[in-house]
Amino acid sequence: MTPSLRSLERLPRWAILLLVAIIARAATFGNPIVHVDESFYFATARSMLDGALPYVDVWDRKPIGLFLLYVPAALFGLPLGIWVYQAMALAAVVATALLIARLADRAGWRRGSLAGAIAYIVWLDLLEGQGGQAPVFYNLLMVGAAALIASSDRDHDPRSRLRRGLGAMLLVGVALQIKYSVVFEGLFFGLWWLWREAMRRRHAVPMLAEGALLAVVALIPTALALVYYQAIGQGAAYLYANFTSIAARRPDPMGEQFGNLAQIVLITSPLFAAAILALPRGHWEGIRGWLFAWLVAAVFGLLVFGSWFDHYALPVLVPLSICAAGFADDPRRSPRITAAVLLIALLGGEATVIAKRLGRGGPGQFADVVAAVGRGPGCLYVYSGEPMLYPATGRCRLSPYVFPSHLVRKRERGAIGVDQQAEIERILALKPAVVVMRLPFNGERPELRALVIARMAAGYDLKVQKPLGRDTISVFAARPDR
């Protein structure tokens, strides 16, 4: 424990982590456009409250649990709902950090547990976890599942271990309905449970039966969602959006993908270095070895999905921060190293968050764009830009494809269930009152932009161009019929 961190131990652990989290995330509070993903989740939740059905009225590949998670915040509307979802995310971050510290304690790294928990919080800012990205929420479920499994390691009652295992896999199942990418960590938890039971020399038949029960419990939330959609006659839409379309999506150029991966490696390298330096210490046949195995499973889950956007690494931060606590626990190493690394990461995260706010825009600029679009009458089409404009203006939408990239990105061609150009032409044929476009961006299909610009020239006037961070938003208004 570093001198500075040791002095903080006079405060309750939760208070320390809450303070760090507020400092790390304060620059995002109240900003409705922290990240386009979060804008879309909020917009979808708001649409659900108005009667829209995900995958039918609003299309995406994310599990329905993620949109349900945003419904309580969407109930409050704008701007209060933004504060609500960000408060939910803050609470999830602090709770996750507390469980990270507890698992580090359980592994015998008590002197480094607080440092590991703080590392999780500050590294979120460096990997697009400063707001309400999906892993910010499901990381809590997964570390909760890990804590249940770890707590059963010394339990000599098979029935008690099974109850804890069932609880862990239920948490994994709920996490699956926030993002399917947790499947690899969930498989690791289940297989490890089976291996541990085998090492206890239990009879194979009951052990395998209980393992099958764990798998069933993990699949219950997803099965319930599928059954619901089947019952209302939309099972095919659910299956395509959640599973089939994922395989149909085109990969990004390999150069771009490896550039993203290199960025992740660079950002996380201090934590990986700390974890590696912790490897030779102690005995690894118990929970320590299990924690490092979990880290390997999480890294595998990151690598297998490709694309490697920075926020894809957020799940890795949980086991990585726990394992890195092993380095901070070592009293032989200079405690100043831990303090210096955490301070640099905190400052770097703050700089990253502020830079992204400047690049993407803040509440004031977004309010100007909202005012330019106006609140009606007539529908809105966001060809490219912020999906948050739909709930912010209250204007109707003309397509299930609310997330703009689905209709204009190259990688989505042939992977959303409709032809992109045909859907854009259908939307424009319905004559939206207002059309919004940002500047051209990497990965966009230029022929589709040219199509929309031609239609704007034929039947729309450029009402205004507004800055939004480093971007420029063009607002087109339909010409009145003569």
Percent of the chain with pLDDT over 90: 85
Q: Which of 45-54, 67-76, 147-156, 465-474 has the lowest mean pLDDT?
A: 147-156
How many other CB atoms are there within 10 angstroms of residue 4's CB atom?
13
Question: 243, 245, 238, 247: which is closest to 56 by C-alpha?
Answer: 238
Helix (H, G, I), strand (E, B) or coil at 481: coil
Helix (H) / strand (E) element for 464: namely strand 460-468
127 pLDDT above the threshold of 80: yes
pTM: 0.94
Mean pLDDT, range 171-196, rounded to an integer: 95
Q: Which of 6-10, 224-228, 355-359 has the lowest mean pLDDT?
A: 6-10
pLDDT at 9: 61
1 pLDDT above the threshold of 80: no
SS (H, E, C) 400-462: CCCCCHHHHEHHHCCCCCCCHHHHHHHHHHCCCCEEEECCCCCCECHHHHHHHHHHHHHHEEE
**DSSP state for residue 378 in the 8-state scheme:** S
How far separated are the first and last CA of the chain, in Å rounded?
Answer: 75
pLDDT at 307: 84
- Average pLDDT, whole number, for the chain? 94
pLDDT at 201: 66
- Please indicate whether residue 278 or residue 175 has the higher confidence score (pLDDT): 175
Residues with Cβ within 8 Å of 429's Cβ and at least 6 positions away in sequence, in order, are none
110 pLDDT above the threshold of 90: yes
396 pLDDT above the threshold of 60: yes
Q: For the segment 266-304, what is each residue's pLDDT rounded down to a tens digit?
A: 999 999 999 999 886 555 668 999 999 999 999 999 999
Mean pLDDT, range 75-82, rounded to an integer: 97
C-alpha radius of gyration, the chain, whole number = 24
pLDDT at 482: 45
**Band of the pLDDT at 393, cuts 50, 70, 90?**
very high
Contact between 377 and 433 under an 8 Å Cβ cutoff? The reply is yes
pLDDT at 6: 56
Q: For the segment 39-71, what is each residue's pLDDT rounded down to a tens digit?
A: 999 999 999 999 999 999 999 999 999 999 999
Distance CA 203, CA 371 (A): 68
- Please indicate whether residue 201 or residue 264 has the higher confidence score (pLDDT): 264
Mean pLDDT, range 445-460, rounded to an integer: 97
**Band of the pLDDT at 207, cuts 50, 70, 90?**
confident
How many other CB atoms are there within 10 angstroms of residue 263's CB atom?
16
pLDDT at 281: 57
Supply the DSSP string of 122-159, one letter for each residue.
HHHHHTT-SS--HHHHHHHHHHHHHHHHHHTTT---HH
pLDDT at 184: 96
pLDDT at 330: 85
